[in-house]
A and B are shown apart, each in its own frame.
Chain A
């Protein structure tokens, strides 16, 4: 099993540019989560999907952030335009929804630096 795959692993961009982060969940999992981790704020849940449908996006910081899941094997998190305060590590995780006790499997993360 390849686990959760994220790309790119590292991204350096300039303020104002569009950034797209990609995630491939574990095959067969039907829940997908996007998290952001910073030293100041810790691990924050941005949005999560169940069966490709966004269930809760209350953690998305503002309209510059958007996420899609066009099919069960792919999701994107887009930031447009990017700002220096968006610099963080972004994690994608997936799970097999089983009523609340499911284990989440995390990808290796994308380290984003916005200059």
Chain B
């Protein structure tokens, strides 16, 4: 069965520093991987996805994620954090033979001014 894990409930980063939000997954076959962001009192918004091709995926708001097949990871990164990046981030996965996306529990990102 497919699964996704976000090992950190919360990540604190100083403004201007690089940030990483971790995600690992388990699926049978090649995964489809997603990152979504949720701002307070809003629905989830799509950030980026990996389907195939280049392991480094670039998305909205300057975020990027690197697909690492050997480590079954898809960590979200940004070179320089902004206070406005503070939000709840969800990693999601779908296996090639699965019919639905599974979301992780979310990681709350705090960017400190």
B99 contacts the other chain (Cβ, under 8 Å)?
yes
Residue tally, chain B, CB below 8 Å to A: 23
Contacts of B106 in A (CB 8 A): 42-43
Task: Contact check, A101 vs B32: say whether CB atoms are below 8 A apart.
Answer: yes
Contacts of B49 in A (CB 8 A): 101, 103
User: What is the CA–CA distance of A13 and B32 in the complex, to the nearest angstrom?
Assistant: 39
Chain A, residues 88-99, CB within 8 Å of chain B (1/0): the string is 000101000000
Which of A14-22, A63-71, A79-87, A106-114 has 4 or more CB atoms under 8 Å from chain B? A106-114
Contacts of B45 in A (CB 8 A): 106
Give min CB distance, B102 to chain A, whole Å. 8
Contacting A at CB under 8 A, from B46-90, are: 46, 49, 51, 90
A60 contacts the other chain (Cβ, under 8 Å)?
no
Task: Contact check, B32 vs A106: say whether CB atoms are below 8 A apart.
Answer: no
Contact of A104 among B42, B46, B104, B105 (CB under 8 A): B46
A4 contacts the other chain (Cβ, under 8 Å)?
yes
Task: Contact check, A56 vs B42: say whether CB atoms are below 8 A apart.
Answer: no
Task: Contact check, A43 vs B100: say whether CB atoms are below 8 A apart.
Answer: no
Contacts of B41 in A (CB 8 A): 108-109
With A100-B32, A101-B51 known as contacts, the answer to whether A43 contacts B43 (CB < 8 A) is no
Task: Contact check, B103 vs A103: say whether CB atoms are below 8 A apart.
Answer: no
User: What is the CA–CA distance of A43 and B6 in the complex, to the nearest angstrom?
Assistant: 13
B11 contacts the other chain (Cβ, under 8 Å)?
no
Task: Contact check, A100 vs B42: say whether CB atoms are below 8 A apart.
Answer: no
Q: Which residues in A have some Cβ–Cβ distance to B below 8 Å?
A: 4, 42-43, 45, 48, 55-56, 91, 93, 100-101, 103-109
Could you jot down 30 A-B contacts, CB within 8 Å? A42-B103, A43-B44, A43-B103, A43-B105, A45-B100, A45-B103, A55-B99, A56-B99, A56-B100, A91-B43, A93-B43, A93-B44, A100-B94, A100-B96, A100-B98, A101-B32, A101-B49, A101-B51, A103-B34, A103-B46, A103-B49, A104-B36, A104-B44, A104-B46, A106-B43, A106-B45, A108-B41, A108-B42, A109-B42, A109-B43
The 6 tightest CB contacts between A and B, nearest first, are: A106-B43, A42-B105, A101-B51, A106-B44, A103-B46, A43-B103
